[in-house]
A and B are shown apart, each in its own frame.
Chain A
């Protein structure tokens, strides 16, 4: 029998050697359960796990763990995102125990967008611990069965630990080392920020492979389909650490009126196919922001269906 760290679907798929395909679901700005269920239906059967964002862009939403529970009821494998902005070490550890108690087995550890971007810029920020310290803390809870303070946990949480990586953020030369730090801290899998510049990502992955990091951790490449020229421009100019090559923008514009979205999907599909062949890449994380209903189509076109079932 295979020994699993958490036994989540995502872990099983990766461990069995399949090319993983994960999706994302942003919880609603309200207690609207139906919205979550509807998004779940689009994703079901198309992805191995679904990330649930944690007050993304520092805007208040239904809590990540609560939306995770709804996804789980819908038969999906949730990936609980936790940011360091809103919780101190007490709240973090109790939420980790809470999600584990409810059978949520994946978790993505993030710093989080600063609250000054969000809808409550006056809020006090927490940042008691940072994302790398959070990874270490979850690992300690799982593997040593101990809280951060060293005290024993009665039934430790079983979590497949994830972390993020932005290959294109500055200072560039340090990014691969920061990835290494996250893996040293205990990350089992990595989901990268959205990749548009495939040439640069290939170079980044070469460094990752040269350092042997892909053998210590599963690396999932992040893809966000571009819906429009405007979105591409916004990504290129307004989002730090995002590299959208000019030729992609040209391609979207060249698609003609009303056809940019289709072209965006085509680009994403080509990227996924290219990533499938890239050394060191264990899967793709598809962040189709408020475009969950297009995920089945993208999955199909990219040859990601059917998703494997690992017992």
Chain B
């Protein structure tokens, strides 16, 4: 899923300080699962905005709504009748949400209420880690089903570098050296020969480097 984190309330208050009718829009997708953008967080943010603005000497009306998803136009459409009562929207979906709302309702100011971090999962309660860089050409099976593009600080395809340190990355003891894990797993599986293959330079055309991406499935598109 997409992992996000809440923006500091001070940053959000600064965004909305000139507005008096603000709609906070949550999403029941990824951001609900990672506890940052669901109905619960919508309620918390809405009251934080009310209190924060009151402290600044301004009474504001803050509406709350949580959509099924913000990455599908049909759910964004559900805002049509509500949104006209407001002059600003704070979306706490991933970066897709505020843009989809802004595209659908071009006359209203839409602000991002979260920082979108990465594609990953929960490794323990309250801890999420990156697993995928969305490069568009998956080859994790070469690497013991661990992605060196997303999980090696240098995205080495023929690692490990000399900075691998007791299973940790030279960049930080908080980061696992994924190449240490890849090597250990593949050697334990008797797959040294595969590791000895020189993996050629990757084509980044399918990644963000090739420009903004779009996918069309003819059988679904009308």
User: Is A bound to B?
Assistant: yes
Using a CB–CB distance below 8 Å, which chain A residues touch chain B? 84-85, 89, 111-114, 116-117, 125, 127-133, 136-137, 148, 164, 166, 169-171, 173-174, 177-178, 180-181, 184-185, 193, 240-241
Question: Are B154 and A111 touching (Cβ within 8 A)?
Answer: yes
What chain B residues lie within 8 Å of A164 (beta carbons)? 162
Asked if residues A130 and B154 are in contact (CB atoms below 8 Å), the reply is yes
Which residue from A113, A127, A132, A170 sits with its C-beta under 8 Å from B198? A132
The docked-state distance in angstroms from the alpha carbon of A192 to that of B208 is 36
Question: Which 7 A-B pairs give the minimum distances between C-beta atoms?
Answer: A166-B162, A240-B165, A132-B158, A130-B156, A111-B161, A129-B201, A169-B162
Interface size of B in residues (CB-CB distance below 8 Å)? 33
Let me know if A127 and B164 touch, CB within 8 A.
no
Task: Count CB-based A-B contacts (< 8 Å).
Answer: 99
A197 CB to closest chain B CB, in angstroms?
A: 15
Chain A residues with Cβ under 8 A from B170's Cβ? 113-114, 117, 240
Give the dominant DSSP class at B's interface.
Answer: loop
For A241, the chain B residues whose CB sits under 8 A away are: 162-165
| Residue pair B158, A171 in contact (C-beta under 8 Å) | no
B187 and A174 contact, CB distance less than 8 A: yes
CB distance from B158 to the nearest CB of A (A): 4
Q: How far is the CA of A136 from the CA of B198 in the complex (A)?
A: 9
In Å, the complex CA distance between A133 and B203 comes to: 13
Q: How far is the CA of A173 from the CA of B196 in the complex (A)?
A: 13
B14 to chain A, nearest CB (A): 22
B3 to chain A, nearest CB (A): 20
Q: Which residue of B lies closest to A186 (CB)?
A: B198
Question: A170 contacts B166, CB within 8 Å?
Answer: yes
Is B115 part of the contact surface with A, judged by Cβ < 8 Å?
no
Chain B residue nearest in CB terms to A171? B183
B173-208 vs A, Cβ < 8 Å mask (1 yes, 0 no): 000010110011001000010011011111010000
- A127 B155 Cβ-Cβ under 8 A: yes
Closest Cβ of chain B: how far from A162's Cβ, in Å? 15
Q: Which residues of B contact A180 (CB under 8 A)?
A: 196
Q: Report the bound CA distance from A127 to B150 in whole Å.
A: 12
